[in-house]
């Protein structure tokens, strides 16, 4: 939705660490950040929120109370998954309303119509109900987390699955790595990256690599590292869906990140083939990819089990070598990180991470997302560290420290 700003309705002083309101607030923001990278307003007064948003020039306002969740239905880049924002935009199109939703919990406000009506008190307006069409995308845990039991059980389950998870395709696209910074010293000497999908290979290709280049895969999932090692050693770079059929047939307790409605045992292979053809188109065709894959298999590869939220083992391996890059995706803003850490905890861990990178490897080119899912790219570790601290690390504030913005 163009001209959109999001906001929290609540008393922030009552949402301190260790409180139910604080946990509710943290979860609302964490889930909002999957698809929204702008500023988040916050106020205890709904009229003030509407006035602040309208005065700032926004046309649409989405207001959530603490504990209200925009649920995410994620899938591979180029897939058919629909975000909550896409669903809201489709629902609101053509509707004649000022307010829609549930007072105090989730409201969508057409600020243009509100101003045309003379900025009435929102308490005097009757919101249009969202209806059943949006119910798959909206979840209310309650400001006191009274309805959070099933959601917290889901988080615990997904956290456990993450530790044995495998991304066979990337949920984020490649836009950030297609056009490296012009001052990056090619060819790539070292690449440090999470063991997820085929984006590591795209980084190698677009940054140039030689037989002397080396790649270190790190992941908190041993299953992801094992999958990647088997892929590197046993695949010829052609017909990825056929390779995945063999992998899925292995059984075991690996959790494969796919898309809503499918599992390894109930796979939509037509859609998988379509996604694979989309991947090949990014490379210029099957032959171009297969040629890359054969060259890639000649370089040195290492596999390190390491949770980036506890990164000592990885940091010990990172060298301050010209022509090096790192990609950590959005490891600081995942279901796993939200399960184990609130907003302040994720921020602290992230700031320790970038400070250590800037000190140990200042020329290291960065790709990923910060603790609030803001894109990070186009800068080396020293440049980014300085720019981040100039901008500030507030989880509710937008940061534009990138050349390309991605949806993670």
DSSP letter string over 206-238?
HH---TT-EEEEEES-HHHHHHHHHHHHH--SS
Cβ-count burial of 270 within 10 angstroms (0-12 exposed, 13-18 middle, 19+ buried)? exposed
**pLDDT, tens digit only, all 408 positions of the chain:** 789 999 999 999 999 999 999 999 999 999 999 999 999 999 999 999 999 999 999 999 999 999 999 998 889 988 888 899 999 999 999 899 999 999 999 999 999 999 999 999 999 999 999 989 899 999 999 999 999 999 999 999 999 999 999 999 999 999 999 999 889 999 999 999 999 999 999 999 999 999 999 999 999 999 999 999 999 999 999 999 999 999 999 989 999 999 988 999 999 999 999 999 999 999 999 999 999 999 999 999 999 999 999 999 999 999 999 999 999 999 999 999 999 999 999 999 999 999 999 999 999 999 999 999 999 999 999 999 999 999 999 999 999 999 999 988
Rounded Cα gap, residues 303 and 301, in angstroms? 7
Region for 262 from its dihedrals, namely left if φ exceeds 0, alpha if ψ lies in -120 to 50, beta otherwise = beta
How many residues belong to the chain?
Answer: 408
State the chain's maximal CA–CA distance in angstroms.
Answer: 69
Nearest to 4, CA basis, from 68, 71, 63, 81: 63
Rg (alpha carbons) of the chain, rounded to whole number: 22
The residues pairing with 108 across neighbouring beta strands, listed in sequence order, are 62, 100
DSSP letter string over 148-193?
-HHHHHHHHHHHHHHTTEEESS-SS-STTTSS--TTS-SSP-EEEE
Nearest to 226, CA basis, from 254, 191, 258: 254
- Strand residues in 205-364 grouped as ranges (E): 214-219, 255-257, 300-305, 324-327
Region for 285 from its dihedrals, namely left if φ exceeds 0, alpha if ψ lies in -120 to 50, beta otherwise = left
This prediction has a pTM of 0.96
Give the CA-trace dihedral at 41, 47, 48, 51, to 10 degrees: 90
Residues ≥6 apart with Cβ < 8 Å to 362: 320, 380, 381, 382
The residues pairing with 68 across neighbouring beta strands, listed in sequence order, are 140
């Amino acid at each position: 939705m163009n001209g959109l700003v999001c906001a929290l309705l609540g008393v922030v002083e009552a949402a301190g660490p260790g409180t139910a309101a604080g946990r509710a607030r943290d979860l609302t923001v964490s889930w909002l950040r999957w698809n929204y990278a702008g500023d988040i307003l916050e106020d205890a007064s709904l009229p003030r929120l509407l006035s602040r948003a309208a005065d700032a020039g926004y046309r649409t306002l989405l207001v959530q109370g603490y504990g209200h969740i925009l649920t995410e239905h994620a899938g591979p880049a180029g897939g058919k998954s629909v975000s909550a924002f896409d669903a809201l935009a489709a629902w609101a199109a053509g509707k004649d309303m000022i307010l829609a939703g549930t007072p105090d919990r989730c409201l969508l406000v057409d600020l243009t119509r509100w101003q045309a009506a003379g900025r009435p008190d929102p308490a005097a307006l009757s919101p249009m109900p969202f209806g059943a069409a949006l119910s798959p995308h909206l979840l209310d845990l309650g400001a006191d987390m009274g309805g959070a039991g099933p959601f917290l059980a889901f988080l615990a389950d997904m956290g456990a699955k993450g530790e044995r998870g495998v991304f066979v395709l990337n949920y984020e696209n490649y836009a950030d790595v297609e056009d490296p910074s012009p001052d990056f010293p090619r060819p790539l000497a070292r690449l440090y990256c999470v063991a997820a999908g085929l984006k590591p290979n795209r980084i190698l290709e677009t940054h140039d690599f030689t037989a002397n280049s080396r790649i270190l895969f790190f992941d908190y999932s041993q299953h992801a590292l094992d999958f990647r090692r088997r892929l590197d050693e046993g695949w010829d770079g052609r017909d990825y869906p056929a390779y995945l059929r063999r992998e899925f047939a292995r059984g075991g307790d690996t959790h494969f990140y796919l898309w809503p409605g499918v599992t390894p045992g109930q796979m939509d292979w037509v859609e998988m083939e379509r996604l694979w053809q989309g991947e090949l188109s990014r490379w210029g065709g099957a032959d171009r990819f297969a040629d890359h894959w054969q060259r890639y298999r000649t370089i040195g590869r290492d596999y390190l089990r390491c949770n980036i939220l506890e990164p000592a083992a990885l940091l010990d391996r990172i060298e301050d070598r010209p022509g090096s890059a790192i990609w950590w995706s959005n490891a600081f803003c995942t279901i796993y990180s939200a399960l184990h850490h609130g907003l302040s905890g994720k921020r602290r861990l992230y700031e320790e991470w970038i400070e250590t990178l800037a000190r140990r490897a200042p020329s290291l080119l960065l790709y990923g997302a910060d603790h609030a899912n803001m894109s990070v790219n186009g800068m080396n570790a020293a440049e980014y560290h300085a720019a981040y601290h100039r901008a500030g690390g507030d989880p509710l504030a937008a940061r534009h420290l990138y050349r390309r913005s991605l949806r993670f």
